[in-house]
Amino acid sequence: MKIYHGLEEYKKVRNPVVTVGTFDGVHVGHSKIFERVSSLAGKCKGDSVVITFHPHPRLVIHSDSKNLKFINTLEKKYELIEKNGIDHLVIIPFTAEFASMDAENFVKKILVEKIGVYELVVGYDHHFGKNREGSFEELLTLAKDMGFRVEQIPVQDINEIAVSSTKIRNALKEGNIEVANELLGYEYSITGTVVGGRKIGRGIGFPTANIELQDEYKLITAIGVYACRVKWNKKMFLGMSNIGHRPTINNGDLTIEVHIFDFDEEIYGETITIYFVDRIRDEEKFENLDALRQQLLQDQKNVKERLFGH
């Protein structure tokens, strides 16, 4: 996949079949759109093109941007789009000036004049232009006037739940990791750097890697203990992760830590990725470290049963 950081880098391709969006999460609904874009591109001997924005539009046009959290980092989003078989990714810098462009000018100046759109594929709830005023009906009219085709993908349902990034974010905030993973179509993950901790876990037989996130806007799933997989040095391990405030030792600050099973490597300063499989329990405060250790033994048993399926 070729990545263009700005429209000036993009060179027109033959019969581009295009879709546009922020694609936070790159969930199963987005994958259906990408699948259709690639299919149509194959039929017209064209190229598949995804247009997205950076920074996320909400960071530019919302006053509460410091409180916004997103499902995926930029790097993860681009990786997932590439895995969907897209040929070209165009990243448009999103500014206040760009946000003021109305729907008709966006279609004319960006999609037609810059991209040379042959066919446009959009999701069921797609809106575009200033204040998201452009509707699908308006898009149909503009497409007819400007000489390109347009197609809308219907809402995707998983177990009668309409898939959306908002529903995935809410599921993560509530700790419903299995629901979130089903709507995403893959296991939710966080990537971070291993930093030094107080080594209390090591003292009770459960050494943990403490994670410092690499993206301040990354959404962290709900507090609790999770069954997880851990990727380090291109290898995958099993483990259990805790997100919380460690009330038994009166830590206070929110921490993300993971105990990796059958692992004895020094990985301070290294990058690891935690893939969340299931939430096992809430965070609890125990009377002492021995009581905490007994619970961790039970957690380990429960996690292994969940990960190994028996």
At 216 the pLDDT is: 87
Confidence of residue 177 (pLDDT cuts 50, 70, 90): very high
The answer to whether the CB of 116 falls within 8 A of the CB of 15 is no
At 310 the pLDDT is: 46
Phi-psi region of 255 (alpha: psi -120 to 50; beta: other; left: phi over 0): beta
- Between the alpha carbon of residue 87 and those of residues 10, 50, 54, 90, 119, the distances in Å are 12, 8, 19, 10, 15
Strands 119-122 and 149-152: parallel
How many distinct structural domains can be found in the chain? 2
Note whether 239 and 197 are same-domain residues: yes
At 61 the pLDDT is: 83
Note whether 98 and 195 are same-domain residues: no
Question: Which tokens hold the place of 32?
Answer: 């259906």
Measured in degrees and rounded to the nearest 5, phi and psi for residue 82 equal: -65, -40
Amino acid at 274: I
Report the CATH number that the domain containing residue 97 is assigned in CATH.
3.40.50.620
Domain annotation covers residue 215: yes
- Determine the Cα–Cα distance for residues 303 and 305; give it in Å rounded to an integer: 5
Q: What is the extent of the structural domain holding 199? A: 187-308
Note whether 154 and 103 are same-domain residues: yes
Note whether 233 and 276 are same-domain residues: yes
Domain annotation covers residue 167: no
- Sign, Cα dihedral of 61, 64, 65, 68: negative
First to last CA, the chain: 40
Note whether 200 and 143 are same-domain residues: no
At 196 the pLDDT is: 84
Domain annotation covers residue 287: yes
